[in-house]
Amino acid sequence: EIVMTQSPATLSVSPGERATLSCRASQSVSSNLAWYQQKPGQAPRLLIYGASTRATGIPARFSGSGSGTEFTLTISSLQSEDFAVYYCQQYNNWPPALTFGGGTKVEIK
Amino acid sequence: QLQLQESGSGLVKPSQTLSLTCAVSGGSISSGGYSWSWIRQPPGKGLEWIGYIYHSGSTYYNPSLKSRVTISVDRSKNQFSLKLSSVTAADTAVYYCASGVTRFSLFDYWGQGTLVTVSS
């Protein structure tokens, strides 16, 4: 099983500031990495796939980078609606054995 | 735009079988190019993929749950289902159904989730 490790567990950021979230895979997943946003009481929402491609309707302030085992999600200027928990997910295996990271909570500083 | 809605029992006794259904609207479950998934989230914890099924009926399960999981499709009702046998308290979670459109192994559309509690 590919283990996904996210850091930090909690990130305190002021509105308008940049947030940088990290995700590390226990072995290479190439660029088969996605990011999801989850707000309290809601289902997750797909933000990024292919490590850096924004999903339909996702604002340009969200960007992803990385390949192999190290990945980053950057939110360039945090808006009030961006405070949430963010999960990374790898989809590199075949047959699929999809795994998520433990999540990073982005909270208001 | 696809819409998904979970339904099923919210309380299951230990050792019994959890059964959930996901009704799909806004698209056909028989259409090619889609995957139909179940994902769960224990209270206050992270996400765990359970498995998915293609329009063809091929299924893929999380290896850690494979011996207890069955996902099936009912084309006549445009829905898919999850059965998880021999449940314990560790299976208490919010269960989501989701659909992969961009890639089979991604989750583009989600249901709202349903809490299933395992307790006697």
Express each pLDDT in B4-40 by its tens digit: 999 999 999 999 999 999 999 999 998 888 999 999 9
Angstrom distances, CA of residue A67 to CA of A61, B58, B59: 20, 29, 28
Nearest residue, CB atoms, A49 vs list B64, B106, B113: B106
Site from B45, B53, B106, B108 to mutate, A interface, most A CB atoms within 10 angstroms:
B106
Using an 8 Å CB-CB cutoff, list chain A residues near B105: 32, 91, 96, 98
User: Nearest to residue A25, comparing CAs of A67, A64, A63, A70?
Assistant: A70
pLDDT in tens, A26-46: 999 999 999 999 999 999 999
pLDDT at B61: 97
A75: exposed, middle or buried (C-beta count within 10 Å: 0-12, 13-18, 19+)? Answer: buried
Taking an 8 Å cut-off on Cβ atoms, the answer to whether B46 and A101 are in contact is yes
The residues with which B68 forms a beta bridge, in sequence order, are none
Using an 8 Å CB-CB cutoff, list chain A residues near B62: 97-98
Q: From A54, which residue of chain B is nearest by alpha-carbon distance?
A: B102
| Tokens found for residue B26 | 């806004």
> A99 touching B, CB under 8 A?
yes
